[in-house]
Every structure is written in structure tokens, then in C-alpha cells.
Amino acid sequence: MKAGGSVVDKAEGAAGYHFPDWAYKTESSPGSRQIQLWHFILELLQKEEFRHVIAWQQGEYGEFVIKDPDEVARLWGRRKCKPQMNYDKLSRALRYYYNKRILHKTKGKRFTYKFNFNKLVMPNYPFINIRPNAGEKETELVG
């Protein structure tokens, strides 16, 4: 517990809802200014150039599928200067998010996870761009 500077004051919504703690973090964690994995994931999801590597799952809000685990791990390792990074280690880090309620696993679906955010956090995260159907025909949903 640290009281030395909450980044964000609890901004109670107009409707009286509260957002999860992680939703208040902007770019860095309170103590460390290292990039967070979940933020990095959102970063990749935001860019179309990585849609063959990781992409939002159509239909489920906040759900995404890692299409190329090796590549995602490589990119993550590159960002963190950890050349030995692989999906096994990366997924362990993702698993730590379960208790933090940032992520959970979509069981049964390979390489598929789901953010616990809801539309209420969207005002805090304008850069999160979930496209349910951005006018493109979805044909990549193959079992």
C-alpha cells in the first residue's frame, strides 16, 4: 500500500459506477515505468499491421486471439530486451492477470483471452478501438 501519489483521483462516473483499478493506469505502473504487458497487448491490437499476429475476436467484447504466439512473444521480448522470451513465459505473465482481474481465459479457445473491461472504461481509454465489424467480412474465424 502506498499513499504517495495516486495517479488518478477516483472519478465517480455520472452514473455512479466505478472502474477497475487497472483502468486508471495510463502508460506506466505506479512504481515502475516499465511498460505493462496488457498495455503492450492493447498496443498491438490497436495497429492493423499486427492483425495477422493478434486481433480482436468478433462477437465477444474485449476478447482477442493470438494468431501467432511466437511472433507476439518475439515482439514482447524485443520491447523488454528479453531475447529469450517465448509464448510459454509470456502466457505465464498473462496468467498472473487472472487474479488481478485484468484478463481471463476463454476456455476451449486456443490462444484466446478476454479483457475484463466493459464499455464503461472506454471513456478512459479512447485508444482502445474494438471493431465489432468494421465493414470487412470476417472469414478468419476458422476452427
Rounded to whole angstroms, the Cα distance separating 69 from 66 reads: 6
Long-range contacts formed by 101-109: CB under 8 A, 24+ apart: 101/20, 101/22, 102/20, 102/22, 102/38, 103/38, 106/57, 106/60, 106/63, 109/65
Is 133 one of the binding residues for DNA (CB under 7 A)?
no
Is 29 one of the binding residues for DNA (CB under 7 A)?
yes
Q: Residue 34 gets which letter from DSSP?
A: S
For DNA, what does the binding mask look like between residues 48 and 87, x meaning CB under 7 A?
Answer: ---------------------x------xx--x-x-xx-x
Is 121 one of the binding residues for DNA (CB under 7 A)?
no
- Minimum CB separation from DNA for residue 93, in Å? 4
Sheet strands side by side (includes 63-66)? 54-56, 63-66, 112-115, 103-105
Nearer to DNA, 75 or 130 (CB): 75
Nearer to DNA, 32 or 133 (CB): 32
Segment 86-105, which members bind DNA (CB under 7 A)? Answer: 87-93, 95-96, 98, 100, 105
Residue position matching grid coordinates 499491421: 49
Is 112 one of the binding residues for DNA (CB under 7 A)?
yes
Rounded to whole angstroms, the Cα distance separating 78 from 80 reads: 5
What crossing angle do the helices spanning 69-79 and 87-100 adopt, rounded to 10°? 80
- Minimum CB separation from DNA for residue 125, in Å? 16
Which residues sit at the interface with DNA, rule CB under 7 A? 1, 29-32, 34-38, 69, 76-77, 80, 82, 84-85, 87-93, 95-96, 98, 100, 105, 107, 109-112
